[in-house]
Every structure is written in C-alpha cells, then in structure tokens.
Amino acid sequence: MSNYYKRRMSLAGIDLTQYAVDDLAPIVQETLDAKLHGISFSPYMEGQVIGMQLEAEQIRKRMAPLVPHVDWIRTFSCTEGNELSPGIAAEYGLKSMVGVWIDDDLEHNEEELNNGIAIARAGHAGILAIGNEVMLRGEIDEDQLIEYIQRAKAAVPGVPVGYVDAYFKFEDHPRIVEACDVILVNCYPFWEGYPIEHAHIYMKEMYRRAQAVSNGRKVIIAETGWPNRGTPEGDSVPSYENAVKYFIDAARWAAREDVDMFYFSSFDEEWKVAKEGDVGAFWGLWDKNGKLKY
C-alpha cells in the first residue's frame, strides 16, 4: 500500500465529534497535504467577470497554490483564455477534467467544442466534460446535447467524454447516460436546504442515485461543497464551522470509498454574487486573495 493511500485512509477514520471547531483547521491542512482527487478551478480574480480575456501568467499564478494539494483540476470553459488552463496544469504535473461550456449560444458552443477537442488532442484532457447543467437550465434540448457529446467522442477516441449535471438529471435523461463514457454529477445538499447534520448522508444518497442509473459507467462527483458565509438556504446555514465539517466529511468519505471527487471550489469569487446571491462569493477553500481560509 502506497504512503499516499495510507495517508488518505488515515483521514477517513477521523471522528469530528471529538474536536472543537477551533481544532478543525489542522485537520483541513492534513487533508489537503494528503491530497484531494480534484478541485474546481476558475482563475478569475477580484474585479474580473466572465467575458474578460484571461492571460497565461494570471492562470499560472492562480493555480500554483493548488498544486501540492490535488491531482486534478476541473475547468469550466475553453474560451476567453480558459483554454490555457489544462496546458498550464500539465506543466505543474496535474491532470484536467476539461469543461466545454454549452448554452443557448450555438455559435459560441462551436468555438468551445472545437477548442476542447484541440486540448484533448494535445494530450491535456484526462476527461472531456461537454456541458455543465445545461439540461437543468433548459438552454438546449436533449438531442442537441447528445450530438455535442457524440461529436466529441468521435473526435477524440480514447479520451473519456461525459456530461455534468445535478445528480437527478441523469434519472430524467437515460439517453444522455447512454451517450456518456462517464457520469459527472453535482451533489449539493446546501442548495436543497439540508441542515449540516444530515448533509453528508444526503450527499452520499445523491451519489448512489446516480450510480443506480449509470448502467455500470463510472460516476464522478464533479462538484460538491459548502459556503462559509452568506444567506441560509432553507435549513442549510453558511458558516466557518459548517464549511469545515462538510469539507472534512466529504474528503474522508471519498478516500474511504475510493470515489473520485472534485471539490467546489478552489477560490472565493465575487463575480458569482450576481447569479447566486451573497452566498455565491464564499465557496472557496482559499479566499479571493489566495490565502487558505481554514
């Protein structure tokens, strides 16, 4: 058994009830030192918004603090400079789940898809993720999404191709399941209003529901997380303590069950407030300035 695996499994047995909240920060550090499978990565900094052109040096600087703590990053777009992230990750020795952003802008979708295919052909995509919650948002129909997935699979044989959405959408769309090589699920007890005491149990149930309809395909948690500040969502309360406990619970469960999980997210990002309210800015393990919050 490798030392890396032993370290991950040692974390899996932690009983959080034995720790006061002030004692949890070292466990977060130990968990990160043992490495996560992956983390969501977005390089936007304070004052920047979607649509701005990103430069390689900013991406490289933003990614650097993550390198000792993860094996994979997950990106969300292949345009406006985001297409540089997988190559930079490869320079750092990281793998990438490359996100191709799909929505109702069909012309832009073509640019995203072509760039994603180019990244995969360059050897910088461990997984190609075609679309993120586009069925949930209702921006294109099922046939259109399947066509994008099939085009990607035909263009990059040997690279696993999947689609990211809320876990229950794979129950609703079995044809999308059949089109995918891997099933990429977002699992958010927070957004469904669950109290932190039950959130971890419910997150596992979300994963199991996706597994039940996967027809043997690998299921990867593409996103899960908990904010530390902002307005509550039902019985889900953002706080330092709740965010820390959710992270540790999720990481140790993933280690114990050998589940590939991309934690959401790497950094706090203020631009998300416009779409998600005040809570949107506080999902990062690192703050907006790149300092570890816990």
pLDDT (tens digit, 0 to 9) for every residue of the chain, 294 residues total?
334 444 454 555 556 666 677 778 889 999 999 999 999 999 999 889 888 999 999 999 999 999 999 999 999 999 999 999 999 999 999 999 999 999 999 999 999 999 999 999 999 999 999 999 999 999 999 999 999 999 999 999 999 999 999 999 999 999 999 999 999 999 999 999 999 999 999 999 999 999 999 999 999 999 999 999 999 999 999 999 999 999 999 999 999 999 999 999 999 999 899 889 999 999 999 999 999 999
**What's the CA gap between 210 and 219, in Å, rounded?**
7
**What's the CA gap between 119 and 108, in Å, rounded?**
17
> pTM of the predicted model, to two decimals?
0.94
Burial class (CB in 10 A: 0-12, 13-18, 19+), 208: exposed
**Nearest one of 216, 202, 213 to 250, comparing CA atoms:** 202
> Do 72 and 126 contact (CB within 8 A), yes or no?
yes
Residue type, 87: G
> Do 161 and 119 contact (CB within 8 A), yes or no?
no
> Do 76 and 85 contact (CB within 8 A), yes or no?
no
